[in-house]
Amino acid sequence: MPDADIGVVGLAVMGQSLALNMNDHGFRVAVFNRTTAKVDAFLAGPAAGTRIVGHHALPHLVATLARPRRILMMVRAGSAVDDLIGEITPLLDAGDCLIDGGNSHFRDTERRTRALAARGIHYVGAGISGGEDGARHGPSIMPGGDPLAWPLIRELFQGIAARVDGVPCCDWIGEGGAGHYVKMVHNGIEYGDMQLIAEAYLLLRAGLGLTVDEVQAVFADWDKGVLSSYLIEITAQILAVRDDDGAPLIDKVLDRADQKGTGSWTAIEALELGVPAPLIGEAVFARSLSAMKDERIRASTCLPAGPLTFGIEPQRFIERIHDALYAAKICSYAQGFLLLREAANNYGWQLDLGGIALMWRGGCIIRSRFLDDIKAAYDETPEPESLLQQEFFRDELARTLPRWRKTVAMAVGLGLPVPALTSALAFYDGYRRADLSANLIQAQRDHFGAHTYERTDRPRGEAFHTDWGRGRQGGDLG
Ligand code: 6PG
């Protein structure tokens, strides 16, 4: 007899945690995993004593689902999702709902949503953030895809999502790949936050010469103020952990950062849409540079740093780093939201940017006090050109700018690489200037390729060409 509210396919850590979370909220959950021993181990272990029912074959799981059926796939992004869709869809009927809760690329989700809509199956690509703990106790969920699916999954998703001030960190994002797109940008911002924190850590350790314990105290203190966030909090936790010999464990972790791809997808998207989001790109490249560990070790023995400067009292230095981190973070989020705005225009999505900030306030990796300020900014000015121009952030930047500049200058003087802090400042300085030097680039393009240019003293849209080598100017070519 069909009696399960939802089927979960894939019992890696996220699938298990979500199944347990749904069970806690009163939903009847059926689970399946290709390696069936995992089903048994789950039922005998974490799911013991719950109402969760396990199956050793997909058709058995599908047969126990109440209609319209709802199935959540929690498998590795890529071809495994297509393979699973190929196995599940013959077992489904029109009106059923299939959800991909992994980190799939939004273009795959677009394609799958279209293909399944043709068969009457409502497909959803749901970004789910928060790692194991979030999935277990309340993640941030970003669902998009076939809008007809939303009424079928709303209660369930909003029921298990994190809540902040009673508001669930889950709402419908938009059609097609919109949900996975927003999750991708979340991850790009996550990369930026992590890189900025790592740069602050470098300045405190290598620049100021603080011990791990001293840096731990700085981060614990920062977590009480405007930087209060999950990532700052776990940084303080990490720095407090000791190895068996009593030494800080962080010093024994190899400085080589991996990546699974969502950060570079965000940077590629920004490049493709022509949106300036350099901080996310820097964060991805910094991980790539970190991965060249052996080469860096060799280079460290032969490349000089050149003359370095240092001279500042510790407390002022810490305050400067704090403000630099905060100001760069404002720019990073402004870049992420610029990308979302452009994506909405480009892909025809009605993205509620303030609503997305709300969804990220709890459950997810980038959750922070700061997202309340972003939400408030969107409430005040629903469509600001950029968060940077919104009054609150404008004032915060004005306040923190002097220390940010000094921090970057100090880091350069010390020979310490802080690409995200530096790039964010260059972005800010570029964004706030009415005049840049792109006129010279445009003239060069016209010189070697007759690509034409617009003039400052003529209406926009008129194209001019000059024979620069001979110093002769052509007329309007438009
Ligand atoms: C989340 C995270 C998660 C991501 C990990 C690892 O929101 O819960 O973004 O989805 O997979 O952070 O990502 P990288 O391996 O690329 O660092």
- The CA-CA-CA angle for residues 451, 453, 459, to 5°, reads 145
- List % helix, strand, coil for the chain (3-state, nearest 5): 55, 10, 35
| Cβ-Cβ contacts under 8 Å for 225 (sequence gap 6 or more) | 322
Catalytic residue among 38, 87, 110, 183: 183
Would the pLDDT of 84 be above 70? yes
Distance CA 297, CA 42 (A): 44
Name the β-bridge partners of 6. 29
Q: What is the pLDDT of residue 308?
A: 79
User: Could you tell me the maximum CA-CA distance found in the chain, to the nearest angstrom?
Assistant: 86
Ligand 1 centre to CA of 234 (Å) is 15
328-387 tens-digit pLDDT: 999 999 999 999 999 999 999 999 999 999 999 999 999 999 999 999 999 998 788 899
- Do 382 and 458 lie in one domain? The reply is no
Provide mean pLDDT across the span 177-181. Answer: 98
Number of the ligand 1 atom closest to the C-alpha atom of 257: 17
Q: What is the pLDDT of residue 310?
A: 67
Query: By residue range, what is the domain housing residue 462?
Result: 438-476
Distance CA 452, CA 457 (A): 15
131-141 tens-digit pLDDT: 999 999 999 99
Would the pLDDT of 311 be above 80? no
Instruction: Give a yes or no: residue 1 inside a domain.
Output: no
Ligand 1 centre to CA of 382 (Å) is 29
**CATH for 458:** 1.20.5.320
| Cβ-Cβ contacts under 8 Å for 351 (sequence gap 6 or more) | 173, 174, 178, 182, 340, 341, 343, 344
Q: What is the pLDDT of residue 478?
A: 47
Number of the ligand 1 atom closest to the C-alpha atom of 130: 8
User: Which helix (H) or strand (E) covers residue 143, if one does?
Assistant: strand 140-145
User: Dihedrals φ, ψ of 8, to 5°?
Assistant: -115, 125
- Do 42 and 133 lie in one domain? The reply is yes
Q: What is the DSSP letter of 348?
A: T
Number of compact structural domains in the chain? 3
Would the pLDDT of 123 be above 50? yes
**pLDDT over 70 percentage in the chain:** 97
Would the pLDDT of 471 be above 80? no
Ligand 1 centre to CA of 190 (Å) is 8
Catalytic residue among 190, 199, 282, 396: 190
Residues with CB under 6 A from ligand 1: 103, 129-131, 187, 190, 258-260, 262-263, 364-365
Q: Of 70, 250, 79, nearest to 160 (Cα)? A: 70
Q: Is 313 helix (H, G, I), strand (E, B) or coil?
A: coil
Is residue 190 annotated as a catalytic residue, yes or no?
yes
- Do 348 and 331 lie in one domain? The reply is yes
- Do 268 and 200 lie in one domain? The reply is yes
- Do 444 and 427 lie in one domain? The reply is no
- Do 249 and 395 lie in one domain? The reply is yes
Ligand 1 pocket: which of 181, 195, 260, 366 to mutate (most atoms within 8 A of CB): 260
Residue nearest (by alpha carbon) to ligand 1 atom 1: 129
264-274 tens-digit pLDDT: 999 999 999 99
- Do 379 and 445 lie in one domain? The reply is no
Q: What is the pLDDT of residue 477?
A: 63
Q: What is the pLDDT of residue 2?
A: 64
Task: Give the distance from CA 147 to its chain's centroid.
Answer: 24
Enter the pTM of the model.
0.94
409-423 tens-digit pLDDT: 999 999 999 999 999
Answer whether the bond into residue 90 is a cis peptide, omega within 30°: no
Instruction: Give a yes or no: residue 365 inside a domain.
Output: yes
**CATH for 236:** 1.10.1040.10
